[in-house]
């Protein structure tokens, strides 16, 4: 079984809709991250969390919110989706080292 | 402006050729990492370089961390089609926030 899972894997939604992307991990890591990747480009950090009570904004947090429900769960919400939020979204975790372990990604399309 | 700039952005070479990918910043990093991402998957760590001037080898891949800890390079010898993918450098510039580079998309043609 995968250590970091993301649901859904693919999502098509309409402008203005609220959607939630979920991430779960079985690695026992305290740190979790949400990234956005646009085609052919690197990753941009949206939000990160060092533990359940610690949430921090990344480079591109506008238009997004997160919830850390438990050590193992970190969800990303788009309150009112817009077309330029169409992208591939990755969740990642890290433990005592900086090594990040990524989920398989969620492909989001906003029409 | 990206904190970590990679060059080239795209690279297409024939099998057996050598190549070098660069990762540059104006910031100092305590360490830099290199990841490889294949289509439809998340990035996977290849190596972490920690000490200025450090050179690490992973089979045909050679990674170097600059003396000033602001840049890094990845050299691939005798590239193979299996090396095709998106190569990303990444690190934390002592800000507790992790940054990824702009990425280098490598295609190795059989």
pLDDT at position A1, please? Answer: 60
| Secondary structure, 3-state, chain A | CCCEEEECCEEEECCCCCEEEEEEECCCCCEEEEEEECCCCCEEEEEEEEECCEEEECCCCCCCEEEEEECCEEEEEECCCCHHHCEEEEEEEECCCCCEEECCCEEEEEC
Residue B16 has pLDDT above 90, yes or no: yes
Residues of chain A found within 8 Å of residue B9, distances taken between Cβ atoms:
40
Q: How many Å lie between the alpha carbon of A103 and the closest alpha carbon of chain B?
A: 6
Does the pLDDT at position B7 exceed 70?
A: yes
In the prediction, which pLDDT does B34 show? 96
Supply the pLDDT for residue B96. 67
* pLDDT confidence of residue A40: 67
> Of A4, A42, A99, which has the smallest distance from its Cβ to B100's Cβ?
A42
Q: Is the pLDDT of residue B83 over 80?
A: yes
Q: What is the pLDDT of residues B42-71, one digit of tens each?
A: 999 999 999 999 999 999 999 999 999 999
Q: Which residues of B touch A99 (CB under 8 A)?
A: 33, 45, 48
Alpha-carbon distance of A90 to A58, in angstroms, equals: 14
Q: Which pLDDT score is estimated for B55?
A: 97
Task: Supply the pLDDT for residue A83.
Answer: 96
The dihedral of CA B22, B37, A90, A31: what is its sign?
Answer: negative
pLDDT attached to residue B106: 96
pLDDT on residue A57:
94
Instruction: Give the C-alpha distances (Å, rounded to integers) separating B106 from A79, B50, B91.
Output: 36, 25, 21
A contacts of B99 (beta carbons < 8 Å):
45, 59
A43 touches chain B (CB under 8 A): yes
The whole-angstrom separation of Cα A1 and Cα B15 is 34
Residues of chain A with pLDDT under 50: none
Q: What is the pLDDT of residue A59?
A: 87
How far, CA to CA in Å, does A80 sit from each of A15, A91, A106?
7, 20, 18
């Amino acid at each position: 079984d995968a250590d970091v899972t993301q649901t859904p894997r693919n999502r098509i939604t309409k402008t203005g809709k609220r959607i939630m992307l979920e991430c779960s991990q079985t690695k026992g890591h305290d740190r979790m991250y949400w990234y956005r990747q646009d085609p052919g480009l690197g990753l941009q950090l949206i939000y990160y969390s060092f533990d359940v009570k610690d949430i921090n904004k990344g480079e591109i947090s506008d238009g997004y919110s997160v919830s850390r429900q438990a050590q193992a769960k970190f969800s990303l919400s788009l309150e009112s989706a817009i077309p330029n939020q169409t992208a591939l979204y990755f969740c990642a975790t890290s433990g005592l080292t900086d090594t990040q372990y990524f989920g398989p990604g969620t492909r989001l399309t906003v029409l | 402006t990206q904190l970590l700039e990679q060059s080239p952005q795209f690279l297409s070479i024939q099998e057996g050729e050598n190549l070098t990918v660069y990762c540059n910043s104006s910031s100092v990093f305590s360490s830099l990492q290199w990841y490889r991402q294949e289509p439809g998957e998340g990035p996977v760590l290849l190596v972490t370089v920690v000490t200025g001037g450090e050179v690490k080898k992973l089979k045909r891949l050679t990674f170097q961390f600059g003396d000033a800890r602001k840049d890094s390079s990845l050299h691939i010898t005798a590239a193979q089609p299996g090396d095709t993918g998106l190569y990303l450098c990444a690190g934390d510039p002592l800000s507790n926030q992790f940054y990824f580079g702009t990425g280098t998309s490598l295609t190795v043609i059989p």
